[in-house]
Homo-oligomer: A and B are copies of this chain.
Amino acid sequence: MKKIINNPENVVNEMLEGIVKAHPEYVKRLEGFNVLVRANGPSKGKVALVSGGGSGHEPSHGGFVGEGMLDGAVAGEVFTSPTPDQVFEAVKAVDGGAGVLLVIKNYTGDVMNFEMAGELAKADGIEVDSVIVNDDVAVENSTWTTGRRGIAGTIFIHKIAGAAAEKGMGLPEVKRIAEKVIANVRSMGMSLTPCTVPAAGKPGFELAEDEVEVGLGIHGEPGTHREKIKSAAEITKDLMDKIFADIDLTQDDEVAVLINGLGGTPLMELYIVNNEVDKLLEDKGIVIYKTIVGNYMTSLEMAGFSISILKLDDELKELLNYKADTPAFKQL
């Protein structure tokens, strides 16, 4: 294992310290917890958004704490859902009296831990609701699995529901918006290399020099299948075909595109992928309203990427364009 770290058991703590020291104008840490909240929070009368999950997905989730996006982010151990007490602490800290929306990615552990936290918060008299993000079309439907996973499409929920909250909408409205985004976003990814959880010390899986893993999650868990590496055009087409099959898109529909790097893939390759995505959308007469390219929901140093497509309407467009000012996502 070759990493720039100190003690593998202490990476989350040191990382959180490093984030707070880098961005004190945006975030502060809840003393004794792996929770980042807005430096100037809580915002009185504003619905608060709390997201989180295992660490190793940076800049998710702490990087999106700030104006127009999250109010709090809870960091579990690497690739491990945070525990209910941590989430509960975040909820208490960000509640400004207008209630808290939990943004949960659909992994058994995340769902259970966040829901337990929600129960604790409700028992404490805090208004809490939650949405479950499940954008990953690589996973079969819920007859055979726990349902689709939440992956990079989550960024759109943070951005758009975050804008709704910032604009002063109430908890039911913010939840409705978040669910609209969830209903309209689909993603799929692939990877060229595994990644190594520091505490594990060795890669989660192995890939031959000419092999790629298709449809994998964001925790280094194996994907749907392996295949020989193909050209960027072919890989992109495969992923887009799966996305197209799962979302109703017709000519003149408007979409937002996220080409998300998994941590070890250079921007050069992400832009080459974007070039292919653009062609495929153009072929169908679909209008690209906004494109985001970069590392937003990563899996440590894994090489690979995911594509997320969000179908937009006027309401989502306006919220997508709303100002955001966070360490990792800014929009003027």
Contacts and interface: CB of A to CB of B under 8 A. Distances in A.
Interface of A: 2-6, 11, 14-19, 21-23, 55-56, 58-59, 63, 192-193, 209-210, 212, 229, 231-233, 235, 257, 259, 263-275, 278, 288, 291-295, 298, 300-301, 303-305, 323, 325, 328, 330-332
Nearest to A22: B291
Given A264-B301, A295-B295, A231 B269 contact: no
Nearest to A193: B2
21 contacts: A4-B269, A4-B272, A5-B231, A5-B269, A6-B272, A14-B271, A15-B272, A18-B270, A18-B272, A18-B275, A18-B293, A21-B275, A21-B278, A21-B291, A22-B291, A22-B292, A55-B268, A58-B271, A63-B267, A266-B300, A330-B331
A15 B300 contact: no
Contact of A232 (B4, B298, B323): B4
Nearest to A303: B301
**Among A16, A257, A271, A301: residue with most chain B CB under 10 A:** A271
B4 A271 contact: no
Nearest to A288: B21
A300 B18 CA distance: 25
**Among A2, A209, A257, A267: residue with most chain B CB under 10 A:** A267
How many identical subunits does the complex contain?
A: 2
A18 B271 contact: yes
A295 B269 CA distance: 14
Give 10 closest A-B pairs by Cβ, nearest first.
A18-B271, A18-B275, A58-B267, A330-B330, A22-B291, A18-B274, A4-B269, A21-B278, A15-B271, A264-B264
**Among A4, A19, A209: residue with most chain B CB under 10 A:** A4
A66 to B, nearest CB: 10
B278 A18 contact: yes
A317 B269 CA distance: 35
A232 B268 contact: no
Nearest to A304: B4
Nearest to A261: B295
B232 A6 contact: yes
A294 to B, nearest CB: 8
Contact of A295 (B229, B267, B301): B267
Given A4-B192, A4-B265, A22-B271, 17 more contacts: A2-B209, A4-B305, A5-B232, A5-B272, A11-B268, A14-B272, A16-B271, A17-B271, A18-B272, A18-B275, A22-B259, A22-B293, A56-B266, A263-B264, A267-B298, A294-B328, A330-B332
Contact of A56 (B16, B192, B233, B268): B268
A207 to B, nearest CB: 8
B21 A303 contact: no
A87 to B, nearest CB: 20
A278 B311 CA distance: 43
